Chain A
Amino acid sequence: MTKTTLTVNQQRYELNLLPWVSLLDALRDHLKLTGTKKGCDHGQCGACTIICDGKRILSCLTLAVMKNDSEITTIEGIAGDESLHPIQQAFIDHDAFQCGYCTPGQICSAIGMLQEGHAHTREEVQELMSGNLCRCGANIGIIDAIMQVKDGGTHE
């Protein structure tokens, strides 16, 4: 067991973890933060995307013990007390999901992308969101939702 301190959504958690526990499993099974989803568990689908030290990463290919000193944000940590994050609201406005399984990863990825600041055009948004697959085919709504927030300048 390795003593690990995870800081998730501004809350500190002291955990004893086996070294091979992925950050995804630590979030879901140890901290019961099940908003982050396990899709492929191999880095191919993006459902497990979380924001770590300001950058979106895949929690399935990350060992939890490697994130001792990091600030982690999951889907549970993005809304305000009374209000949705603008990206969440935009997803509702644009019908940007059907089954919803990829949605937490899509939203964390979109927030990370806007923070990174490299997407300027719709084509660039599509390219920089390609790591998040939507098997329902809601991609057009997803890109519409992101463009609304990007152009509205309401993202953080």
Chain B
Amino acid sequence: MNNFEYKQATDTKDAIDLLSHSPEAAFVAGGTNIIDLWKYNLTNPSSLIDINHLHENAEISMLENGKTRLGAAVKNADTAYHPLIGQKYPLLSKAILAGASAQIRNMASNGGNLLQRTRCYYFYDPDVPCNKRNPGSGCPAKAGYNRIHAILGTSEACIAVFPSDMCIALAALEATVNISGPNGERNIPFSQFHRLPGDRPDLDNTLEPGEIITSIDLPEEGFADNYSYLKLRDRHSYAFALVSVATALKLNGNIIESARIALGGVAHKPWRNVEAEEFLKNKEANAENFSAAADIILRDAKGFGYNDFKIALSRKAIIRNGLMALNPTSQLPGAQPSA
């Protein structure tokens, strides 16, 4: 563990200025990931810049165009329990409440949730090679104990998974990430925010150095009538997903007008497959069609031994969650499978 300085930013511009003056610094909001990483000697910031006082990023608000803006500094719990989110975007509430523990959700910020790092055991062990932690050193997970690892979008360099639940719902809802940086403001569609490992697994996302997430926008369509988040894991609560599925449907009777399916626990980013979603259009919402969609999603899935089970588990989870989305009231606390 190295020593660091502590600085408090007063607003977004101040935060960007402070970071530009010390490039080895990092932002801290909830601290639930970065302080843990620092304790494990996996990150060595010269300073931590406290961004908890950026009041302009601390609200949830409805925008004039029907969109909803989630401030980056708003806590995960406050987001999940916000009446507007519960009513209009219940899929997001469910996904957030399936993640971590109540204490961590009270601490963790929305922006930080997007930036949390993988929980790959090899990444967390500084004594072994890891291309994400130490580029070019190798990936012991591929031939190692890879039960929690990716089955989709892997590369020679990395088979780590992105651990968020919240982001799986944000992917299904097609959120947009708003960013400020030394060169001004920009936004990134959620599908392009996180990246696949390729030959640069050290890069989790497409944020440029010096940039800060200020908010996340949700489109007007919240799929509040037919949605479900299913999270399958080794214990019933407070564990990362082995496989999770966010399903959002727009139905006309029993016919699917539009479908969104995003998977967690299976790739280096929230996993969507537009071809499968297109296939479901104008089809009946039943197990057979969800199964055919699962075939499309998992067509190129590849196991590494201990995680082979995730392919069959994902297929079942996609089907099960499609059926659960037909009756959202059947969902149990913690995104458990309904009886």
Give A residues with C-beta under 8 Å from B. Answer: 2, 18-20, 22, 41-43, 46, 49, 55-58, 61-63, 65-66, 109, 112-113, 116, 118, 121, 123-124, 126-132
Contacts and interface: CB of A to CB of B under 8 A. Distances in A.
Contact of A63 (B3, B48, B236, B237): B48
B103 A127 contact: no
Given A19-B4, A43-B104, A61 B31 contact: yes
Nearest to B50: A66
Interface string B224-240: 00000000000011100
Interface footprint category on B: 20 to 34
Interface string B92-114: 00000000111110110000000
Contacts of A121: 333
Contact of A57 (B5, B106, B236): B106
Contacts of B35: 22, 61-63
B6 interface: yes
A25 B165 CA distance: 30
A131 B81 contact: no
Contact of A61 (B32, B52, B237, B333): B32
B39 A19 contact: no
Given A127-B334, A128-B333, 8 more contacts: A41-B39, A57-B106, A58-B107, A63-B6, A66-B6, A66-B52, A112-B102, A124-B333
9 contacts: A18-B3, A19-B6, A20-B4, A20-B38, A46-B101, A55-B106, A58-B103, A63-B28, A109-B102
A62 B101 contact: no
B332 interface: yes
Contacts of B3: 18-20
A19 B38 CA distance: 13
Closest 10 CB pairs of A and B: A131-B101, A19-B6, A130-B237, A127-B333, A130-B238, A55-B106, A127-B334, A131-B103, A61-B35, A58-B103
> Which secondary structure characterizes the binding site on chain A?
mixed
Given A124-B333, A127-B334, A131-B238, A62 B31 contact: yes
A128 B28 CA distance: 25
B236 to A, nearest CB: 8
Contacts of A62: 31, 35, 107
Nearest to B105: A131
A126 B36 contact: no
Contacts of B39: 41-42
Nearest to B237: A130
A128 B237 CA distance: 9
A43 B36 contact: yes
A3 to B, nearest CB: 11
Contact of B6 (A2, A56, A131): A2
Contacts of A57: 103, 106-107
B119 to A, nearest CB: 11
B215 to A, nearest CB: 22
Contacts of B38: 20
A150 B41 CA distance: 42
Nearest to B35: A61
Contacts of B100: 131
B31 A46 contact: no
B98 to A, nearest CB: 9
A123 B332 CA distance: 9
Contact of B48 (A19, A41, A126, A129): A19
Contacts of B106: 55-57, 112
A56 B107 CA distance: 9
Which residue among B28, B48, B101 has the maximum number of chain A CB atoms within 10 Å of its CB? B101
Given A18-B3, A113-B102, A118-B81, A61 B107 contact: yes
B1 interface: yes
Interface string B1-32: 10111100000000000000000000010111
Which residue among A42, A61, A116 has the maximum number of chain B CB atoms within 10 Å of its CB? A61
Contacts of A41: 39
A4 to B, nearest CB: 10
Contacts of A116: 77, 102
